[in-house]
Structure 1
Amino acid sequence: MEYRKIGNSDLELSAITFGAWAAGGWMWGSTDRNDAIKAIQASYDEGVTSIDTAPIYGQGDSESIVGDALKGISRDKVQLVTKYGMRWDLAKGDFAMKSKDNSGKDIDVYKYAGKESIIKECEDSLRRLKTDYIDLYQIHWPESTTPIGETMETVAQLIKEGKVRYAGVCNYSVDQMKEGDRYVNLISNQVPYSMVKREIEKELVPYALENNKSILAYSPLERGLLTGKMKPGHQFAEGDHRAGLYYFKDENLRRTNAFLSTIAPLAADKNVSLSQLVLRWTIEQPAITIALAGARNAQQSVQNAKAIQVQLTKAEIDLITNELNKLELVK
């Protein structure tokens, strides 16, 4: 495994970080707790020491699964990355979405990052994760009802108290990062980035490079789209959020798979899977320090971890990018 320094901090995360959204089941058509625990443990055995989770993933389930999976592993051997600012138990802030919890009950989710809420969420996360500190604490989404200064000053307070080591953000614009950075040292921004979602290359990537900020790319396999395993006519399980996304329209599955077929010979030549080739390409992109890869079982998590073994020359990276630039999805 490769370990990369995050921003201007001394925090190092594994270049392939375990993304625990699917492990919580929520919006993924449920999950098996034991499979999720085994997935985390198997990835750790492959050198994946960093795990990204959030309270909203399964309304606490994902964090609890992470806490259980790491029993018996020395705390200083792992890096726990979690979030705050999405509440399903408090109707305050910006309404985010209607959803269902893991038992099928309707819930309303709000984006809220007021001081008292962050302090409560931090305590809840520490308890579920079975730890006394969080390595990287990130606001999950921007929200309009709380000044950024109040939010970031609260995280700075948690850092002083030793409950949090470093502050990061998720889904922030460059302007929001600049504002937040006035109150606490923001070392990273976790945003969606994949071969078919490259909008951040325009503004966020140049800003990150210029200001020594790390980008943590989530959904680098675009929720399974870039594995090459999804075919037109794919049927999603009930409750799977992907069913309504345009990426998974039959025409886009056809177009994506046609692109993947152009880079498949390179994967075959290196004796790696398409997923592994995609993950390696992703972490070779400018400012992309970490790729978060989710897994619902041990086999998937081991495959993701082994992506680090793929070696790409500049010419090979350029070849992939040139083919990729020909791909257009329909909305």
Structure 2
Amino acid sequence: MEYQELGTSGVAVSRITFGSWAAGGWMWGGTEQNDAVGAIHASYDLGVTSIDTAPVYGMGFSEQIVGEAIKSLPRDKVQILTKFGMRWDLAKGDFAMKTKDNNGHDLDVYKYAGRDSIIKECEDSLRRLGTDYIDLYQQHWPDVTTPIDETMEAVMRLIEQGKVRAAGVSNYSVAQMQEAEKTLNIASNQVPYSMVRRDIEQDLVPFCMEHNKAILVYSPLQLGLLTGKMKPGQEFGDGDLRRGHRLFTPESVTRVNAMLNKIRPLAETKNVTLGQLVLRWTLAQPGITVALVGARNPEQAVQNARAIDLQLSFEELDFINKQLAALQPA
């Protein structure tokens, strides 16, 4: 495994990090707790020491699963990355979405990052995770109703109290990062990025590289689209976030599969899956620090972790980039 420090925070993480959104079941059609714990342990055995979670994943369930998984692991060898600022139990802040919990009950979720809310959320997360500190505490989404300096001051207090080691943000623009930096040293920004979603290369990547900020990318396999296993016209159930997604239309899946078929021979000659090739390409891109990858079971977790063993030459990366350049935009 490869490890990298998040900015200048002193917190080093595995470049492949276990993403536990699907483990929480929410928006992914349920979960099996034993499979999720086994997946985290299988990842750890291959050097994936970092786990990313959030309270809103399963309304606390994902954090509970992570807490269960790390009970038997040495805490100082594991990095827990969690988040704050998405409240389903408080109607305050910026309305985010209507959703359902894992039991099918309707919920309204709000983006809210007021001072008192953050303090409460941190205590709740520590309890669910069964730990007394969080390695990276990230604001899940910007909250337009709360000044950024108020949010960052609250996180700074948590750092001073030893409950948080480093501060991060998620889904922040460059301007929002600059505003946050006036109050607190931000270690990282967690944003979506994949072969078919590369808009951060325009401004966020250059900014983070210039200012030594880590970029943690989520959905590097584009919700499974880049595994090559999706079929045009594939049906997704109610509550699955891929249902109605523009990249999952039959036309888009057909286009992406055509591109994947061009790079598939490279994966075969390397004796790796398409997913592993995509992950390695992602980590080879300038400014990308970490790829967050989910797994529902130990087999998937092992496959994800082993992507790091793949080495790609400049010529091979160039070949992949040429196929991507020819991909018609969705």
1:32 & 1:11 partners in 2: Cα distance?
A: 30
Counterpart position of 2:305: 305
1:47 partner amino acid = G
TM-score for the superposition, normalised by structure 1: 0.99
2:74 & 2:167 partners in 1: Cα distance?
A: 23
- The secondary structure found in structure 2 opposite 1:244 is coil
Report how far residue 239 of structure 1 moved. 2.1
Which moved further from structure 2: 231-240 or 275-284?
231-240
**What aligned pairs does 1:1-331 form with structure 2 within 5 A after superposition?**
1-330=1-330
2:34 & 2:6 partners in 1: Cα distance?
A: 31
Query: Alpha-carbon deviations, 1:33-79, whole Å to 9, x = none?
Result: 11111111111111100000000000000000000011121100100
1:62 partner amino acid = S
1:235 & 1:296 partners in 2: Cα distance?
A: 20
1:206 partner amino acid = P
Report how far residue 318 of structure 1 moved. 1.3
- The secondary structure found in structure 1 opposite 2:81 is strand
Report how far residue 325 of structure 1 moved. 1.2
- The secondary structure found in structure 2 opposite 1:156 is helix
1:63 & 1:303 partners in 2: Cα distance?
A: 23
- The secondary structure found in structure 1 opposite 2:251 is helix
Matched-pair contact (CA < 8 Å) for 1:247–1:329:
no
In the alignment of these two chains, the number of paired residues is 330
Name the Cα RMSD after superposition: 0.7
1:215 & 1:311 partners in 2: Cα distance?
A: 21
Report how far residue 105 of structure 1 moved. 0.2
2:67 & 2:328 partners in 1: Cα distance?
A: 41
1:126 partner amino acid = L
**Which blocks of at least 5 consecutive residues in structure 1 are unaligned?**
none
Which moved further from structure 2: 222-231 or 313-322?
313-322
Hey, which bits of structure 1, 4+ residues long, moved more than 2 A?
A: none
User: What percentage of residue pairs aligned between the two structures are identical?
Assistant: 65
Report how far residue 149 of structure 1 moved. 0.2
- The secondary structure found in structure 1 opposite 2:159 is helix
- The secondary structure found in structure 2 opposite 1:167 is strand
Query: Alpha-carbon deviations, 1:71-126, whole Å to 9, x = none?
Result: 12110010000000000000000000000001000000000000000000000000
1:187 & 1:70 partners in 2: Cα distance?
A: 24
2:305 partner amino acid = A
1:31 & 1:73 partners in 2: Cα distance?
A: 22
Report how far residue 20 of structure 1 moved. 0.4
- The secondary structure found in structure 2 opposite 1:138 is strand
Matched-pair contact (CA < 8 Å) for 1:17–1:292:
yes
Report how far residue 235 of structure 1 moved. 1.9
Which moved further from structure 2: 258-267 or 1-10?
1-10
